[in-house]
Amino acid sequence: MKLKTFRKGGIHPAPSKLTSGMPIVEIGVSSEIRLELAESIGVPARCIVKPGQSVSAGEMIAEAAAFVSAPVHSPVAGTVKRIEKLRDPQGFWREAVVIATEHIETAVDEAEEALSPRTQDEVDALTPKEIIDIVGNAGVVGLGGATFPTRVKLSIPEGKKAEVVILNGAECEPFLTCDEVLMCGYPDRIVAGCRLIMKAVGVDRAIIGIEANKPQAIAAFRRLLKGCDDISVQPLKMKYPQGGEKQLIYALTGKEVPEGGLPVDAGAVVDNVATAYAVYDAIYNRKPLTQRVVTVTGPHLKKPGNYLVKIGTTISSIIEAAGGLPEDTGKVIAGGPMMGKAMSRLDAPTTKAISGILVLPESMSKRRSEEPCIRCAKCVSVCPMGLEPYQMMNLSIAKRFEDITKLHVMSCLECGSCSYVCPSHRPLLDYIRYAKQEIRKMPKK
Amino acid sequence: MGVISTTILVIGGIGVLAAIVLYFVAKKFYVYENPKIAEIEELLPGANCGGCGMSGCHAFAKACAETDSLDGFNCTGAGKDIMEKISVIVGLEAKAGIRRVAVMKCNGGCSERQIVNNYDGVTSCAMEGALYQGETDCNYGCLGRGDCVASCIFDALHIDSESGIAVVDHEKCVGCGKCVKTCPRGLLELVPVIDDKPIVWVTCMNHDKGALAMKECTISCIGCGKCKRVCEHGAVDVEDFVAHINPELCVGCGECEAACPRGSITHIGDLIPTKKEAES
Amino acid sequence: MENKLTVSLSPHLHSHNSISRSMWNVIIALIPALAVAIWTFGVDALWVIAVSVCACMLTEWLIERFMFHRPCTLMNGSAIITGLLLAFNLPSILPWWMVVVGAVVAIGIGKMSFGGLGCNIWNPALVGRVFLLISFPAAMTTWPAGVSSGLVHMSGASGADATTGATLLATLNESNGEIGMSSVDFMDMAIGHMNGSLGEVGSIAILIGLVYMLITKVITWHIPVSMIGSAALFSWAFGGNPLLDVFAGGLLLGAVFMATDYVTSPMTKAGQLIYGFMIGFITIVIRRYGSYPEGVSFAILLMNSFTPIINRYCHPTLFGRRRK
């Protein structure tokens, strides 16, 4: 079958999927769980527990504080120790709840026992509204990295109509394999989650887009979906950023999301495969989102792998489980190398946003020195959004933010392709981000 | 001969014609401008610093020429007697403007604040501050990338080569406030210079709890409140673990500076002895 | 942990592409044409190339060292390319001091006066060449004797007793079309056995360079193809012989190595097509109606001047703005 892809721009970084095909390994529960309240974009959740209070596994400890907000649940049974400000991986202070785990050894089993799964009949009886509410209360957020509350995504705005559900299994970021192992291991649950999403948004068609470098995952879905005509699997060309929401919609449906619009404007609802899995868990197993698969990887890491991690485990203990930081570590990144954020401190807790922990050696950590722009136009030709990064950088240096707005800077998805290809090693994306940040601060006209 | 005279005639004719056209165009599009505006603008420094709150020196001159009262008008960049001179021109009463200077509320150089990671990116406080905590553990201190230095048009700010943080040259500072708007961490503050009174201020903005603040920097304000207790004039406030001195109430005795266990209060000018000291 | 973590904004990977890599790839692409030049014109060619490259590098080094006080950037190869391209645009018997003057103008005025690499408006090598062409028109159009003009030998046209040769285009230009197309030896033209500037004679060698640059993704096809295509089109429209116009003279050299210069060509694909198209058109207009037999240099410099305005009006299509 012909591979589909997006039309303009894109780059081909080396995939470096070191942990491809490695099984999901569960790591031990730590004695202390730290849960940030701002687990999704939008408004941080409102804490509903008090210090000293005991909580059970899966109990909600903070409720959604607004429409765009997601509740937080305790992954373990234990006692609330403190509610305080903690530093996140970038060192910013965030409101957090610290829970002391009881029975560290048995914590996992307890969590399993507490649940009484819904039967298929019960699930079938759920209305779309009920599905959305359950998903919302389970704290499910987009697990691709943006952590957009899934409840909001499933609530189609008045006057708009979704036509197709797209499951994002592209995983175009180098190094990351967390979606791949999930797709190979639990295609049935992902498909079940997908059907629930389809029911919630009221469409009868879904496409699962998977980059062609994951043939096992594609085969697993093909086997499972033989004879089904509601969900199809579409292999995609290996090209970054294939998993960008707008790029994926274009590749799979040929429709472009209008500038400044939402996917639903192109008739699509896009969810990550891991999110579909979480939806499945929330509906069938009544399990809130309290754990996720994290790819811990790096060229010099002793035991790279795909680890099942409780949200709230400290990053350093996850790295410890993967063999500890190598001697020559220069940079630790939350997420993939193209869009992930470098961390300044490893004592911070895991959040729902962290899909990978990438440990880069010193030799790969430093940027090379900047040289003058030679106007080679490589940044223009790789930009998947059809922007002119070199121009935006120049204007950003000159602080001409009004003019940058005219170049549609807000359409930039920050994929980093421009900085990646620049032969002069110019920090194009740094300046574009700076411009976006300043423009957001400007008063709206 | 014929060629030369023709050339002279043609070129001269074009010149005369152009002059006539220009004359009429200039007449037609002449805009009357109050001559006072030009007169005032002569006096102004012409740096367009914006310290007066207007978009530039011309706008300020225009506003002065057209206003009914000079209350609230002040050119920070041109020295004390500028407003007097302007008042003579426009024939209105004017109060002598208050001079302001910017003070830097972080003094934690690299010997006081330990660098715990390396920033590798564009030299810009705004970008570094938006990305993460900065190279030290203090989330509030000077990043030292010089955004304020770049914003200052009077050459009154520089990054100290030893400590790596921004330092204000109070002699050169005219108090236009550009740096105050620029600093992403809000470390600069404009304080009035009243006669010979010294300026006393707290050189820390660390809002972390005392124990943490202590670890993060050796000269951080821990919010202990000693300064507040020794101040007889109620000029010191401690809020969110940071002391702040109200320049309006401060008399410049320097008691708080002496009392501070952390060395995070400093001053410029000669301290005025308190009554007690004067008696003894 | 002992060592400090590095924190920077994403992306954390880089393609390992660099200015010097691109530049050295261009230099490799120039080697076939260089070889043909030496084969056709002998040691003279080598001498001109050596003088030109050395003078360019020296000028750049002196200016960076003593005027800009910047670290040396010689090794990124851009001065070498300028030197090579300048030499490729000169006749092989040009006095050495003229070559030096051309090199100093190319680097000093054409490039460094604008601020160095990436800042210049016009292609530096062409600035040097045109400066020489206007200052020393006779020397710049004196071609070595004993090299075939590309015409099939006719009695008297280029006899062995002639002290200087002539280029194909010049001969045609002067003859007002009296010499028919039948007398052109296309085989000589293709392998470089004809008279002209150093680099423009070996058409096949230049095309090999083009293929190399396309494979290594140093350039895209847009500028060379649109430029050659439009030159052929207008040559045909004005009643010329498209093959002759494309393969004789400097059009190929210009299309492959000069017009594609990163700094002075437009940024977008549409802009590059317009730019190439206009260069082809202007070249043919100068060749047909101008007094110069050759117009590529002027055409490229003219369109270099238009590059900023092309960049201003040609933007890539924004994602989400395409008409269905």
Report how far Cα A130 is from the mean position of its chain's Cα atoms. 25
The reply to whether A346 falls in a domain is no
Check whether A76 has a pLDDT greater than 70. yes
Taking only residues 65 to 94 of chain A, the set having a beta carbon closer than 8 angstroms to any beta carbon of chain C reads 90
Per the structure block, which two tokens stand in for A426? 């110019």
Q: How far apart are CA C220 and CA C227, in angstroms?
A: 13
All residues of chain C having their beta carbon less than 8 Å from the beta carbon of residue B115 are 4
At A159 the pLDDT is 87
Backbone φ and ψ of B34, nearest 5° = -55, 120
Domain boundary among B74, B97, B120: B97
Among the ranges given (B26-35, B41-50, B92-101, C301-310), the one the predictor scored with the smallest mean pLDDT? B92-101
B217/B184 same-domain check: no
Place of tokens 């301290």: B271
Q: Which domain holds residue A221?
A: 120-284
Nearest to A326 by CA among A368, A286, A359: A359
Domain boundary among A284, A314, A332: A284
- Three-state DSSP at C264 gives coil
- Number of A to C CB contacts under 8 A, please give it: 164
CB-nearest partner of B121 from A91, A92, A430: A430
Per-residue pLDDT of chain C (324 residues; tens, 9 = 90+): 457 899 999 899 999 889 999 999 999 999 999 999 888 888 889 999 999 999 999 999 999 999 888 888 888 889 999 999 999 999 988 999 999 999 999 999 999 999 888 899 999 999 999 999 999 988 888 888 766 655 544 433 443 444 456 676 776 666 655 555 556 666 666 776 677 888 888 888 999 999 999 999 999 999 999 999 999 999 999 888 888 888 888 899 999 999 999 999 999 999 999 999 999 999 999 988 888 878 899 999 999 999 999 999 999 988 887 644
Cβ–Cβ < 8 Å for A428, A389:
yes
- Please indicate whether, in this complex, the C-beta atoms of B131 and C7 are within 8 angstroms of each other: yes
Domain boundary among A260, A284, A308: A284
Per the structure block, which two tokens stand in for A393? 């950088």
Cα nearest neighbour of C17 on chain A = A423
Q: How far apart are CA A284 and CA A367, in angstroms?
A: 47
Domain boundary among A284, A306, A333: A284
Strands B157-159 and B166-168: antiparallel
Q: How far apart are CA A308 and CA A178, in angstroms?
A: 9
Nearest to C92 by CA among C54, C142, C24, C23: C142
- The DSSP line for chain B is -HHHHHHHHHHHHHHHHHHHHHHHHHHHT-----HHHHHHHHHS------TTSSSSHHHHHHHHHH-S--TT---TTS-TTHHHHHHHHHT---PPPPEEEEEE-----TTTS-B-EEE-S-S-HHHHHHHSS-SBS-SSS---S-HHHHH-SSS-EEE-TTT-SEEE-TTT-----HHHHH-TT--EEEEEE-TT--EEEE-----S-HHHHHHH-TT------HHHHH-SSS-EEEETTEEEE-TTT-----HHHHH-TT--EEEESPPPPPHHHHH-
Cβ–Cβ < 8 Å for C49, C84:
yes
**Distance from the B126 Cα atom to the nearest Cα atom in chain C, whole angstroms:** 13
At C154 the pLDDT is 42
End-to-end Cα spacing for chain C: 56
Q: To the nearest whole percent, how much of chain A has pLDDT over 90?
A: 73
**Distance from the C39 Cα atom to the nearest Cα atom in chain B, whole angstroms:** 50
Per the structure block, which two tokens stand in for B249? 């109430």
Helix crossing, A273-284 with A128-137: angle to 10°? 100
What does the pLDDT average to over B63-85? 81
- Please indicate whether, in this complex, the C-beta atoms of A387 and C318 are within 8 angstroms of each other: yes
Cα nearest neighbour of C11 on chain B = B121
Nearest to A347 by CA among A96, A31, A86: A86
Helix crossing, C124-135 with C78-88: angle to 10°? 30
Q: How far apart are CA A147 and CA A149, in angstroms?
A: 6
Cα nearest neighbour of B137 on chain A = A91
Output b/e per residue, B155-189; b: 16+ Cβ within 10 A.
ebbeeeeebbbbbbebeebbbbbbbbebbbbebbb
Cα angle vertex C319, ends C315, C323, to 5°?
A: 90
DSSP state, C151? B
At A312 the pLDDT is 92
A147/A278 same-domain check: yes
CATH number at residue A219: 3.40.50.11540
B126/B142 same-domain check: yes
Q: Which domain holds residue B110?
A: 99-193
At B86 the pLDDT is 85
A278/A382 same-domain check: no
All residues of chain C having their beta carbon less than 8 Å from the beta carbon of residue B118 are 4-7
- Please indicate whether, in this complex, the C-beta atoms of C8 and B127 are within 8 angstroms of each other: no
Who's near B69: CB < 8 A, 6+ residues apart? B92, B93
Per the structure block, which two tokens stand in for B211? 């124990």
Q: How far apart are CA A383 and CA A392, in angstroms?
A: 12
- Three-state DSSP at A95 gives strand
The reply to whether A113 falls in a domain is no
**Residues in chain B whose Cβ is within 8 Å of chain C:** 115-121, 127, 131-132
The reply to whether B167 falls in a domain is yes
B110/B188 same-domain check: yes
Strands A93-101 and A32-36: antiparallel
At B217 the pLDDT is 92
B125/B202 same-domain check: no
Quick one: pLDDT band at residue A21, thresholds 50, 70, 90? confident
The reply to whether A305 falls in a domain is no
Cβ–Cβ < 8 Å for B170, B268:
yes
At C157 the pLDDT is 40
User: What are B54-66's pLDDT values in tens digits?
Assistant: 888 888 888 888 8
The reply to whether A277 falls in a domain is yes
Backbone φ and ψ of A165, nearest 5° = -100, 135
All residues of chain B having their beta carbon less than 8 Å from the beta carbon of residue A93 are 139
Cβ–Cβ < 8 Å for A204, A229:
no
Per the structure block, which two tokens stand in for A56? 């059970």
Number of C-beta neighbours around residue A444 at 10 A: 4
The reply to whether B9 falls in a domain is no
- Please indicate whether, in this complex, the C-beta atoms of B119 and C5 are within 8 angstroms of each other: no
- Please indicate whether, in this complex, the C-beta atoms of B133 and A366 are within 8 angstroms of each other: no
CATH number at residue B90: 1.10.15.40
User: What are B105-156's pLDDT values in tens digits?
Assistant: 999 888 889 889 999 999 999 999 999 999 999 999 999 999 999 999 889 9
- Three-state DSSP at A362 gives helix
Q: How far apart are CA C93 and CA C37, in angstroms?
A: 12
CATH number at residue B209: 3.30.70.20
**For chain A, how many structural domains are there in total?**
2
The reply to whether A422 falls in a domain is yes
**For chain B, how many structural domains are there in total?**
3
**Distance from the C310 Cα atom to the nearest Cα atom in chain A, whole angstroms:** 14
The reply to whether B21 falls in a domain is no
At B91 the pLDDT is 83
Query: What is the enclosing helix (H) or strand (E) of C224?
Result: helix C222-237
Domain boundary among B46, B75, B97: B97
Cα angle vertex B211, ends B209, B213, to 5°?
A: 65
Nearest to A24 by CA among A289, A308, A277: A308
Q: How far apart are CA C297 and CA C279, in angstroms?
A: 9
**A164-169: strand order across its sheet:** A231-236, A206-211, A164-169, A268-272
Per the structure block, which two tokens stand in for A129? 């509204």
A270/A125 same-domain check: yes
Backbone φ and ψ of A163, nearest 5° = -115, -25
The reply to whether B269 falls in a domain is yes
Please tell me whether the overall predicted TM-score, pTM, comes out greater than 0.80 for this model. Answer: yes
Taking only residues 364 to 383 of chain A, the set having a beta carbon closer than 8 angstroms to any beta carbon of chain B reads 365-367
Place of tokens 């109070």: B170
Q: What burial class does residue A431 get, using C-beta atoms within 10 Å of its C-beta: 0-12 exposed, 13-18 middle, 19+ buried? A: buried
The reply to whether A211 falls in a domain is yes
- The DSSP line for A166-202 is EEEE---SSS--HHHHHHHH-HHHHHHHHHHHHHHHT
Cβ–Cβ < 8 Å for A350, A309:
yes
User: What are A124-168's pLDDT values in tens digits?
Assistant: 999 999 999 999 999 999 998 788 999 999 998 888 889 999 999
Q: How far apart are CA C57 and CA C52, in angstroms?
A: 9
Quick one: pLDDT band at residue A445, thresholds 50, 70, 90? low
At B44 the pLDDT is 87
Cβ–Cβ < 8 Å for A339, A170:
no
